[in-house]
């Protein structure tokens, strides 16, 4: 083990969980400051399998989805992280987060919703549909919103 590894192990070993989380937030901001979106994406592809080892997606997904929807309880945690990713992605040529969400969300919903208790699932779906309509129609004229709603109604009634 190198000197850097020994120093890190000694430092992290003596820290509380709260101190580690606080340090991680500060480190992440500095660490990613000069990285391109492509650099971050490559890093995520390499790190995600290691980070997700032992994680039960079926248990975690409902909480993540509710957090991403923004339940107005706080602006930190998942919601804050998503906001940061969206902000930096919007400055790039091809926004990573919107593309990733539109591809992943339908798959995640297919996997997680059948495993969510019925009452909780109904509440989640109603909230999600309301947010999708509200945010999906941002910037539309009244005529475009009417067409949008007609398409939604046609889709869910067919």
pLDDT tens digits for range 42-62: 888 888 777 777 777 667 767
- Is 70 buried (19+), middle (13-18) or exposed (0-12) by CB count in 10 A? middle
The answer, yes or no, to whether residue 91 has pLDDT greater than 70, is: no
Dump pLDDT digits (tens) for 134-149: 999 999 999 999 999 9
| Whole-angstrom distance, CA of residue 128 vs CA of residue 97 | 18
State the pTM of this model: 0.44
């Amino acid at each position: 083990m190198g000197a850097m590894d020994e120093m890190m192990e000694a430092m992290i070993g003596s820290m509380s969980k709260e101190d580690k989380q606080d340090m991680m937030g500060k480190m992440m901001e500095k660490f990613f400051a000069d990285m391109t979106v492509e650099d971050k994406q490559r890093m995520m592809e390499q790190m995600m399998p290691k980070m997700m080892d032992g994680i039960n997606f079926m248990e975690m997904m409902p909480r993540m989805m509710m957090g991403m929807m923004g339940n107005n309880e706080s602006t930190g945690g998942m919601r804050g992280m998503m906001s940061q990713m969206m902000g930096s992605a919007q400055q790039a040529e091809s926004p990573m987060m919107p593309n990733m969400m539109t591809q992943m969300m339908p798959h995640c919903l297919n996997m997680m919703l059948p495993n969510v208790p019925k009452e909780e699932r109904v509440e989640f779906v109603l909230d999600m549909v309301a947010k999708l309509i509200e945010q999906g129609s941002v910037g539309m004229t009244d005529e475009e919103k009417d067409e949008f709603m007609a398409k939604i109604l046609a889709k869910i009634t067919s």
